[in-house]
Structure 1
Amino acid sequence: MRRFFLTFFYLVCLSCNRIEAPKVENNSGIYKPKGLYSSSFGNETALDNAHVNGALIRVKWNDIEPEEGIYDFSLIDQFLLSIQERNLEWSLGIIAGESSPLWLFEDEKVDSFEITDFYGNVKVIPKMWDNQVIVKLNQLALALAAKYGNDEDLGLVYVPQMTANGIEGHFNGVSETVLINAGFTADKWVNAVKSTAVNFAMAFPDKAIAVEVHDLINDSAIPNQIITDLWNDSSLNQRVGAAIWWISGKTTYQPNLLAALTAFPGDIYAQAIGRSDQKERFKDGDYSTMMAQAKAMGVRYIELWEYEFVNNTFPNEFSDFNAYANATYD
């Protein structure tokens, strides 16, 4: 059951003294989540925090489709029990990339390539632009929708991506040369991600959809084209928004993409870049700058690490962001 809150209107002023007005009108006629969510499961007490509107369920593709066409949704259902007991909402993220099922790699079903990420981990990644990858992800979307598409408490579905961690739109330190040698081009990537996003949106016609974006081959134009084209696609009825799982209050990381997102007229869903005790990850070591940045950019929804809700680290800021989101977005 969705939570409803008494709301009041907040206008947010950044250090530059610029006031940002609400920018998204929900013309789709469907529910889109807003406010604060927990980004993970581990300590269920996070879901008991009064500021939590819902939680993200993220599972690996290879866990839910261990054999081609044979689905096991028990892990998702297990997490759902805790959410349903508390009358919360939920979002769904399927992790692809290295966590794609083994059968996808067998018998030359799809083409793949090897990367070494920022942390030195060697991974084999299916090529997002391989047509069979797009076909199999579409089949996955249809199976998920058949199971959960009518759940009114499911508010947001993330688009899986063949990337370093399987959902965020980047390769985490992999060189441009490695990607280009694997056959990566801007057009191939844009078309593959857009095709998969459209397939998920069509499978879930009553749900909001999100594509997580990062610069690719040092180019912010690639993610910007993806989210802009999807938002402007009239067949999708402005249901496909952008996601940023790296919001921090800082403006030095991917500044061009931050500018593009601030100008983006569509929905933005975010996840905090880290825990509040990881002070170095936030502007001036101040976690609250992340939520101020979110409001200035027009972010409607943030997933905070469960640490914040278990320890109720910033209750005033949590209350403030939820009030802002409820007052600003339908």
Structure 2
Amino acid sequence: MKNVLTLYCFLVASSYLTSARLQASTIFDDQAKTLVVNGYSTSVLWPILLQEKIDDLYGIADPADRVVTVVKAIQPGNPLANWIDVATGEPTQLWLDVLRPAIQASIEPVIVLAQQSLQGVYSTDRTVGIEGPNDLIRIEQGADAFELYGNQLLSDGAEAVHIATHIYKVTQEPEIENEKYALEALTNRYPDHLFAGPDVWTATEPLWPIGFQADQLHPNVIGAEAMADAWFDHLLAHDGNVPEPTGLCLGLAAIVVMICGRKRASYLHCSVVVLALAATLSPNKVAMAQQSPVGIYCSCPPTSDNSNSVLTDLGDLEFVDGVLVRLGWDEIEIAPGVYNWDNLDRQFQLATAAGLGISLGIVNGQRAPSWLHSEGAEVFEYDLRGETKTMPIPWDNVYLGAWDSFVQELGSRYADNATLDLVHITHSTLNGFEMQLPASSASGGTWEQAGYSTVLHVDSWNTVTDSFAKAFPTTALDIEIHPVLGPDDLRGIGDGDNNQVAQQVISYGVSQHPDQLGAFAAWWSLGNAQEVYPGMSEIIQSTAAATFGTVQIVGSVTNQPERFGGEAGTAPADLLELEFDETLELALSSGINYLEVWNADLLNPELGGLLKSVHAQIHAIPEPSSATLCAIITMSWAGLFRSREKT
């Protein structure tokens, strides 16, 4: 315990010693500012969490009232050498396309938070780096690169630049940690308005691997929380405001060190203890966690007159918590204001008898009632799997009024039913369940010809979101997210504006209904998350950190092994060799505690052991706490003690 107190006092003293020089460009002086975050794939999540912490500092509930705004100017896979020519100091095209516009778009003073790396500065081989404190030539080259980069940011209009180096990278140590020597060399030159940022390497190294995604390189929500806390504390210290340790904080530190310092304590055990203690410091997040859906749910067949979503044999599986119940709007509202609830009532009865929860999804779009058109609603004709379908124009007022009336009736009948755990918010879309729209009309017409604009579309989604929140005021809600009319923007193909609807709709939903709204990915797989929908994956992970995230596995590995890196006809015993387990692991490491798994996989005995393990993890590990200085301190101390054991 003495070592713990000494370590903390050293950190506090160091912050005070440096704060005198850091008075320039004060951050939190109640004046409006924009913090532009520049980095690469490790900076996807933490800026969102940093914004949350800053909003909490100012007591901001409405994003429109923000004093300090965090803006991301990041591009995955692109460290410093891809943003600026380190030989000439000239900005690259990437800089001109992404970074300069972000700086110059702000009418408020801009401060850049650079989460950067020297990979690629010394060689096209990015593994080449600083070998140690005596590698003076590369240290000075790195300092030169940081200075060129910082000065160009100042030239572009930034008021100040705070530079941090790379997080812990297990495949490239000690070169990554040694980047700190170049940053130290830069600060020893006392450059104007260039400051050393937080030591995120030290903040993340003790969290490996629990704080990282399945690839063990990129931070998950736990790692991102540590990074956000490190940046937040750095900015406070820059202004001369160092948080003082409380008695509770020191008490938690002592508990963690006592437990995690044991030689037999696993790091996972250690992390679970820290997160559990952290949760005690964040009652608002815990309240959200209690309302958010948790568990493995069956992505079962749709309900109809002749079939049930609630399969009777699911209740015997200990790792199944509930069932997704899907049925069309047209099956229920058979005429304006005339409802047939029989099929849906039957699902609630079956689920209650089996001890299962229900996630409810009313299919819209092509399953909107045909009478809507005769009531005056405009429709859009399109081809789906060789058939011509119709869907209401999403922003049509006749349709929106009819959908709202139905949703209110739905809520009045089921909102108070204890079996209902989650409602998927649905709207008029390609398949009536997910967010994307058909690419064109059946006749080849475009959405622009139908009056489409991002503003109209987003507004219609926001209207529908508010409708569901009114109808189900105490039920968890989510919205499925997809690029709307093309490929994911982060894939670098298409017009680069396909993610805006999902981003704006989720942002609105979380800001207006923070106690009940999350983001849903009905396309979840390892390949989709990392390659096909990287931008959507960002949204899911950031929303999971703020409220909650939910996923539906993209297909059944039993019936469609090719979706998980296998081939059609893969033997049942070989399914565990595919990417199915990694798909589940990625969800857990992304902070997602709700998974919809297809019934064929739930009933496959070859997958039972894996699913039992996932189920146990979901129900054993609490969601990571938001804004807990003490939790990160204690986890760091635990990591230090564990690392001392190894040496």
Q: After the TM superposition, which residues 130-145 of structure 1 pair with which residues of structure 2 at under 5 Å, given as runs?
A: 130-145=396-411
Matched, 1:328 2:622: yes
Counterpart residue type for residue 122 of structure 1: T
Matched, 1:156 2:422: yes
Distance in structure 2 (CA, Å) of the matches to 1:121 and 1:184: 23
What corresponds to 2:522 in structure 1?
245
Q: After the TM superposition, which residues 273-288 of structure 1 pair with which residues of structure 2 at under 5 Å, given as runs?
A: 273-277=554-558, 278-283=560-565, 285-288=578-581
Comparing 318-327 with 162-171, greater Cα deviation is found at: 318-327
What corresponds to 2:365 in structure 1?
97
2:539 aligned to which of 234, 257, 260: 260
Distance in structure 2 (CA, Å) of the matches to 1:55 and 1:112: 32
2:469 aligned to which of 180, 197, 201: 201
Distance in structure 2 (CA, Å) of the matches to 1:253 and 1:85: 40
Counterpart residue type for residue 380 of structure 2: F
CA deviation vs aligned residue, 1:51-82 (integer Å, no higher than 9, x gap): 10011111100111101111111111122222
What corresponds to 1:111 in structure 2?
378
CA deviation vs aligned residue, 1:95-137 (integer Å, no higher than 9, x gap): 01111112111142x11111123x2332111011111222111
Distance in structure 2 (CA, Å) of the matches to 1:30 and 1:201: 18
Distance in structure 2 (CA, Å) of the matches to 1:319 and 1:181: 51
Is the partner of 1:76 in helix, strand or coil?
helix
Counterpart residue type for residue 34 of structure 1: V
What corresponds to 1:308 in structure 2?
601
TM-score by length of 2: 0.46
Structure 2: gaps spanning 5 or more residues: 1-209, 226-283, 301-308, 487-497, 567-577, 625-647
CA deviation vs aligned residue, 1:164-213 (integer Å, no higher than 9, x gap): 11111013554896222222211111111111011101111110111111
Comparing 59-68 with 73-82, greater Cα deviation is found at: 73-82
CA, structure 1 residues 18+88, in 2 after alignment: closer, same or farther (shift >3 Å)? same
Distance in structure 2 (CA, Å) of the matches to 1:280 and 1:182: 37
TM-score by length of 1: 0.88
CA, structure 1 residues 86+11, in 2 after alignment: closer, same or farther (shift >3 Å)? farther
Q: Indicate if the aligned counterparts of 2:310 and 2:347 stay in contact, CA closer than 8 A.
A: no
Two-structure CA RMSD over aligned residues (Å) = 2.3
Q: Indicate if the aligned counterparts of 1:275 and 1:305 stay in contact, CA closer than 8 A.
A: yes
Q: Indicate if the aligned counterparts of 2:364 and 2:431 stay in contact, CA closer than 8 A.
A: yes
Distance in structure 2 (CA, Å) of the matches to 1:73 and 1:329: 36
CA, structure 1 residues 312+193, in 2 after alignment: closer, same or farther (shift >3 Å)? farther
Counterpart residue type for residue 261 of structure 1: I
Q: After the TM superposition, which residues 19-30 of structure 1 pair with which residues of structure 2 at under 5 Å, given as runs?
A: 20-21=220-221, 25-28=285-288
Is the partner of 1:140 in helix, strand or coil?
helix
Counterpart residue type for residue 231 of structure 1: V
1:33 aligned to which of 277, 281, 293: 293
Distance in structure 2 (CA, Å) of the matches to 1:222 and 1:312: 40
Q: Indicate if the aligned counterparts of 1:90 and 1:156 stay in contact, CA closer than 8 A.
A: yes
Quote how far apart the aligned CAs of 1:18 are.
4.0
Comparing 282-291 with 200-209, greater Cα deviation is found at: 282-291
Quote how far apart the aligned CAs of 1:255 are.
1.8
Comparing 236-245 with 277-286, greater Cα deviation is found at: 277-286
Quote how far apart the aligned CAs of 1:11 are.
6.4
Structure possessing the higher radius of gyration over alpha carbons: 2
Distance in structure 2 (CA, Å) of the matches to 1:308 and 1:12: 27
Bigger fraction of residues in helix: 2
1:127 aligned to which of 393, 396, 399: 393
Q: After the TM superposition, which residues 185-196 of structure 1 pair with which residues of structure 2 at under 5 Å, given as runs?
A: 185-196=453-464
What corresponds to 1:296 in structure 2?
589
Quote how far apart the aligned CAs of 1:297 are.
2.1
CA, structure 1 residues 178+19, in 2 after alignment: closer, same or farther (shift >3 Å)? same
CA, structure 1 residues 179+198, in 2 after alignment: closer, same or farther (shift >3 Å)? same
Q: Indicate if the aligned counterparts of 1:283 and 1:289 stay in contact, CA closer than 8 A.
A: no
Is the partner of 1:178 in helix, strand or coil?
coil
CA, structure 1 residues 67+216, in 2 after alignment: closer, same or farther (shift >3 Å)? same
What corresponds to 2:505 in structure 1?
226
Q: Indicate if the aligned counterparts of 1:59 and 1:95 stay in contact, CA closer than 8 A.
A: yes
Q: Indicate if the aligned counterparts of 1:158 and 1:211 stay in contact, CA closer than 8 A.
A: yes
Distance in structure 1 (CA, Å) of the matches to 2:212 and 2:295: 15
CA, structure 1 residues 313+100, in 2 after alignment: closer, same or farther (shift >3 Å)? farther
Distance in structure 2 (CA, Å) of the matches to 1:68 and 1:26: 42
Q: Indicate if the aligned counterparts of 1:30 and 1:206 stay in contact, CA closer than 8 A.
A: no
Counterpart residue type for residue 564 of structure 2: F
Quote how far apart the aligned CAs of 1:283 are.
5.0
Matched length: 317
Off by >3 Å, runs of 4+ in structure 1: 10-13, 16-19, 21-24, 26-30, 172-177
What corresponds to 2:214 in structure 1?
14
Q: Indicate if the aligned counterparts of 2:289 and 2:623 stay in contact, CA closer than 8 A.
A: no
Counterpart residue type for residue 258 of structure 1: S
Counterpart residue type for residue 248 of structure 1: S
Q: Indicate if the aligned counterparts of 1:34 and 1:329 stay in contact, CA closer than 8 A.
A: no
Quote how far apart the aligned CAs of 1:21 are.
4.3
CA deviation vs aligned residue, 1:276-296 (integer Å, no higher than 9, x gap): 121221257421121012112
Is the partner of 1:156 in helix, strand or coil?
strand
CA, structure 1 residues 14+152, in 2 after alignment: closer, same or farther (shift >3 Å)? same
Quote how far apart the aligned CAs of 1:42 are.
7.0
Quote how far apart the aligned CAs of 1:12 are.
6.4
Comparing 191-200 with 260-269, greater Cα deviation is found at: 260-269
Q: Indicate if the aligned counterparts of 1:46 and 1:307 stay in contact, CA closer than 8 A.
A: no
Structure 1: gaps spanning 5 or more residues: 1-9
